[in-house]
Structure 1
Amino acid sequence: MTSLPVSVAVLGTGVPADRIAAAVDGRADLTLTAHRPLTEAPPSGTTLVVVVPSLADDVKALVPQLLRDAFDVISTAPPESETEISEACVAAGRTFHSTGGFQSAVAARITRSLAAAVREVDHLELVEEIALPAEGLHPWSSPSESGVGGSADAARAAATAVAGWYTAGLRVLEEGGFGTVTDAESVVTVEVDADEWGAVHTVTATHVLDDRVTYRSVRTAGTAPLRYRLTTTTAVGRSTATVEFQPAGGVHPAEHLTAREVLDAIRPVHESGPGISRRDLAITYLSRDERL
């Protein structure tokens, strides 16, 4: 471990990448070496690279190459090729971490603690209510990219495209409520509400894992608060807890939480041993996760 600043390059364009780069530049324990598009290489002297892709960006080859080039890597997208990433980490002695890029990480941390406090849980349901501003929210560059404002078919395709991004939240909740994590794959169903002309104004994507954890994301356009509601079902009844995040300083809470997760992970990733690491949402350090 070292107290020297970590040299960080941010690769990606758009609001979240800009915010992450500015935050890195403002930290005394970090040094921003560059903020560049994904198509450009980090400069010499960089130790860790933050990759901030949109849904349209393909980083399947980029992340393993950065690891092989001897950079630690944090990506706001889930890993594309876990085996290749793991092999690259070991070969170059570097560490990879995926934040998932979603604001739900903080909510999952809070609700996981609530779930873990309940005994003999039968089912957990987390409902996310998120309003997308005109400039979009990571990883969507606009509300229409999430399916809001388009056709029903487009909305369903858009929701399916990000289904894998919600897997981490499902598994965190499962581990908190049940103490174990299964190998089951999550299943997503999509419902839409449209106006009289067929334009979708609400997309509800319901993700179910092993029939005991449900994560329902309700997406609309606008600037409403970011809200999460956890319902815990046991043999004796149900309990509900709600967490709400308000905008502050003109910054959407979802963008703030996404950037926060990246920033909090930089130094632990830099100081971790080679391999794929994850943020354990119950505590404050990184640990190896062989499931990734």
Structure 2
Amino acid sequence: MSVIPERVTVTEVCPRDGFQSLPANIPLEEKVEIVNEIIYCGFKQIEVTSFVHPKAIPQLKDADELLQKIDRRNGVQLRALVPNLIGLERAIKAKVDKVKLMLSATDSHSLSNANRTTFDAMEDFKPLINRANEAGMPVSGSISVVFGCPYEGDVPVSRILQISEKYADLGVTNISLADTTGMGNPVRVRKIIRAIKKEFPEFDFSLHLHNTRGMAFANALVGLEEGIVNFDSSVAGLGGCPYAPNASGNISSEDLIHALHEMGIETGIDLDRVIKLGKNLEKKFPQSSDSFILKAGKCSDLHLAPKEQVKLG
């Protein structure tokens, strides 16, 4: 029988994954306010931006300024994506706490996302990892479209194991498993997690789930049962990969945290404050938000019981 953990870490990715998917420019000061509020909600790890070329994702062109202006606090780890050495140098200068490498499980998605095949992209990681090590910068890895690729369909487990072996050779053992376009299902997710944890028990895996087809929490529950204790989510369900078709938002932070708390699993996050922020973001970006809790409220939000049955007709 599976054992559900008593506590998990939820990483907020709205400032990177959420913002990059929005077509309208968000002013820097507004981003600062949102990131600060995320910090005040109690998240201990935040994926705050990506140091990509401004032409690739214009929304994140102010990554350096954002890191200078937010209210940085002890105990809050700020993570950023880096695509290359230039991005890494910017991240080091901006004093982020941790960098994350971008990688796709399939060549088709990798060519679309990085203009390189998967294993060619991993060869490019070597100088980044060496430079990060010199700077004392922790490095984590990722595998996008791990539970299904919009171009190739199911990804063989053997492919995921090969990629993980290469990560091990590079000395990167903190890996995010991403359901980038929400193609995963509980059976598939369990199969891959079991296989990869069996072969690489020393790895620290996290789940980055998109709710494109309404399967994200079912997949998160399987992750919990298989021992995953680190999850990414985005306030108001904002998010989506610009280089993948139909890649709608991440599982919303308020949905995930509410469900975890209902199950008796601690997160250390102020859910009411997250909901308040989610409502504000929903007003600003109504076409991009997707959250059950923002629609229905918490289970504990009880209503006044009726005194008698109201008959219609």
TM-score by length of 2: 0.28
TM-score by length of 1: 0.29
Looking at secondary structure, tell me which structure has more strand per residue.
1
Looking at secondary structure, tell me which structure has more helix per residue.
2
